[in-house]
Structure 1
Amino acid sequence: MTEEDEPPTAIPPTSAVARLSRRPYERELKRLQAELVAMQDWVQASGARLLMIFEGRDAAGKGGSIKRITEYLNPRVARVVALPAPTERERGEWYFQRYIQHLPSRGEIVLMDRSWYNRAGVEKVMGFCTPAEHRRFLAQCPVFERLLVEDGIMLRKYWFSVSDAEQQRRFQSRLEDPMRGWKLSPMDVESISRWEDYSRAKDEMFVHTDTSEAPWFDVEADDKRRARINMIAHLLSTVAYSQIPRPPITLPARPPAVNYIRPPRELVKAVPDHAATLK
């Protein structure tokens, strides 16, 4: 079951926007994924550095979008960064310090599933940082991002928006699905009662960090399929990549075995043939 699929007992989607049908979704997704591979080849060949930040409401579909973007990309070129809570030592560092080591190097793509914007969101709302630390972040973040852009990093920031009713539906669906129950954390549950607090924090964050050098792009995500298609298409439109021709590869003829006999299979600890038990 993929993320956009819901269990048979799931509550129907709440969005008034018609859900994008599966066939055109899958057709366009494959086309866009082929373009993502072409963009990856260009990034690697040109030595560009691409950094994507994914933020938004809990259950807004950030992870699903990241999964579709990276599905056919080379993990040695495109990597996902999803940091855990900071350690005690990291709490004593400059706030941005733990993120700097994960920035893309030459020829790399980095996708951040949550980022330094934790300070403007969950840390602000849940009281994990002081008001002074929050104010300092809002002042330093635009400067920090300007330095990244001036150094040549292509920074793309996406905020995934979801309605309160649709978020509630997705939480309920996760609660009823043993395969996805791990995606519903106590922090997610807490976000329900703090919906307006998160809204105010997001609005304040945008005021300070939606800059000309590093603008925010809002993704309407009540329909996950539309959100993925729209977000990927926008990303590709903002990167001036070009097709990089790949050198032709010809597979050589396999030479016959000479003076080699494979050891008997009985000497190997083989994996049991579970597939043979299936009807």
Structure 2
Amino acid sequence: MIEDQPAKAAATARIDTTVAHPARRYDYWLGGADNFAADRESGDAVAAAFPTVRTAAIENRRFLRRAVTYLTREAGIRQFLDIGTGIPTANNTHQVAQAIAPESRVVYVDNDPIVLVHARALLTSTAQGRTSYLDADLREPEKILAHPDLHATLDLDQPVALMLVAVLHFLTDADDPYGAVGKLVSAMPAGSYLTVTHATNDHMPPETSSAVNDADNRARVPFQFRGRDEFARFLRGTELVAPGITSVAQWRADDEVQPRPSAADTAVYGAVARIR
């Protein structure tokens, strides 16, 4: 792929290093280097309120690896739509899927300009498969679904794994996240899958939940915890894959190092479900 230098320059110009951004903060918790002082300050403030937040970030990535492995190896999925991609790190969706099935095709979607700057890393694919990147927003699902690069990469007449990993908690109710997910799910053919993870305060004291929210508000990071019932609402009309809704640290984690972190340590629900 030939790098689009004007597009890269435009994306770089959009980066505001003085305000924390969820993708860069997540990168900081994972030990990455693509973050700035504002991201680290915000990350440390959340960690002060919820000391195991780094464990949560790590376990969320491990869940992603296990979910993609299941979808590729056991469910036979060869197409992935990964929305809220974040900054590239180890075991990205296409790396996991194409290691099992080199012909797998992946579309990544994110609205963070620093992710766009790193798009070349995401666009590396096996010769048999394909990856592409859309600069788009989950809050505008129609634009994602109509994008020509999506249709050039994925065949929406064949099953697709819709990946919404650690992104929905950055949409408040005012953003209509259930409407956005519903439109995306409705566009997927029968036999597709929905994979979701979401931060929850079900297992934390009210004062911890309040402190995390205060830290996000100070950093101007939109954020909303949701409980189990609210999480399950994203999965209505689908068929849950065993073991259903669990902590991300527990989902099909028998081969992970034991003992696993507790639900309280991760505070993130995860699930994979078949779209009928």
TM-score scaled to structure 1, two decimals?
0.36
Whichever of the two has the greater Rg, that structure is 1
TM-score scaled to structure 2, two decimals?
0.37
Which gives a bigger RCO, structure 1 or 2 (Cα 8 Å, sep 6+)? 1
